[in-house]
Amino acid sequence: MTSYLLAGGGTAGHVNPLLAVADGLIARDPAAQVRVLGTAEGLESRLVPERGYELLIVDKVPFPRRPDRQSLGFPQRFRRAIAQVRGHIRTHAVDVVVGFGGYAAAPAYVAARREGIPFVVHEANAKPGLANVLGARGATAVGVAFRGTPLRRGEVVGMPLRREIVELDRAALHDEAAAHFGLDPDRPVLLAFGGSLGAQRLNDALADSWRDVLAAGWQLLHVTGERSELADPGVAGYAVRRYVDRMDLAFALADLVLSRSGAATVSEVSALGIPALYVPYSVGNGEQRLNAASAVADGAARLLDDASFDGDAVRREVVPLLSDRERIAAMGAAAQGAGSRTGTEDLIALVDRALGARN
């Protein structure tokens, strides 16, 4: 049997594709040994055991961004983390390491190389993180979610996605989804969301413009986020939810998506063939704008500027589109070919190839 060590964590963007691959490996071979390497502080410390996988701990050692007193101790702390991973590799006779970025991935890549076993890098964002930039230099194989990701020898494999997204039949669930959210199954729906915590700028813009969306003949399913205090006006055709635990139903109902452009969001929306309007979050290193670039280039999505996104922008940019059924249909047709539901299988094939190169 093959022993896999999947390394990554910190955020859902790293943990969710990791868990999708873990599930895919076990579904293919129930006898496979699949373990996860992560930190005690990251999201993986909760999600991995909940999914039934053993979590092996490595110290969280951030790369220093500037020379200071904290950076002086980095080499020693990083060497200790590498030694921890090498111990895990030997104890569990690991055959291959698959890294998804984050604090756990960097020492895992170095440890795998020193132990003489192959390692594979997967990068979810169009702008790669530092751990994966460094890891890609010596990796046996490199998989990326988006075209144009600047990683050495990167091959587009797509994003490993949740099973409920991969298997979603939107047409079959459409009427159930409409009933679930209290909306009319015969009228089009704009699905707006900003992630589990919400996006204040999107919420404020829609609070000012939801009447215009409804006046255009559309309904609005607005997922505001758990921290939002936005009040539900209780109007027919406008469904306000702070949190949705059945995003598969939300996607089944959506004729157009308005959202941020995190890697997972773009990958899921593209995989489902839904046209989209993305408002990339302007804080960070610009990865959200790059994540959406391939969908925009394919004609499946449009970008809206975060800094100027308000109620007037909705009336100026979004509402006219809602009245242009031909344009939305063209975006939908382009969206059908913009994404992939086989990211898990394609990344596992890359891992198999890496293992085969070792033998």
pLDDT digits (tens, 9 = 90+) for 168-199: 999 999 999 999 999 999 999 999 998 655 58
Angle at 358 between CA 117 and CA 106, to 5 degrees: 30
Q: What is the pLDDT of residue 184?
A: 98
Q: What pTM was estimated for this model as a whole? A: 0.91
> How high is the pLDDT of residue 64?
72
> What is the enclosing helix (H) or strand (E) of 142?
strand 141-144
The pLDDT value recorded for residue 52 is: 96
Per the rule left: phi > 0, alpha: psi between -120 and 50, beta: everything else, 175 is alpha
Element containing residue 6 per DSSP (H, E): strand 3-7
**62: which DSSP letter?**
P
3-class state of residue 147 by DSSP:
coil
Asked whether the predicted pLDDT for residue 3 surpasses 80, the reply is: yes
Count of CB atoms within 10 A of residue 91's CB?
Answer: 10
The whole-number pLDDT of residue 194 equals 85
Question: How much is the pLDDT for 69?
Answer: 67
Give the CA angle between residues 109, 111, 113 to the nearest 5°: 70
State the span(s) of the chain assigned CATH 3.40.50.2000: 3-161+341-358, 164-335
Q: What is the pLDDT of residue 197?
A: 52
Report, in angstroms and rounded to the nearest whole number, the Rg of the chain calculated over CA atoms: 21
Give me the CATH code for the 164-335 domain, please: 3.40.50.2000
Percent of the chain surpassing pLDDT 90: 82
CB 237 within 8 A of CB 258: no
| Alpha-carbon distances of 200 from 126, 209, 273, rounded to whole Å | 24, 14, 26
The topology under which CATH files domain 3-161+341-358 is Rossmann fold (3.40.50)
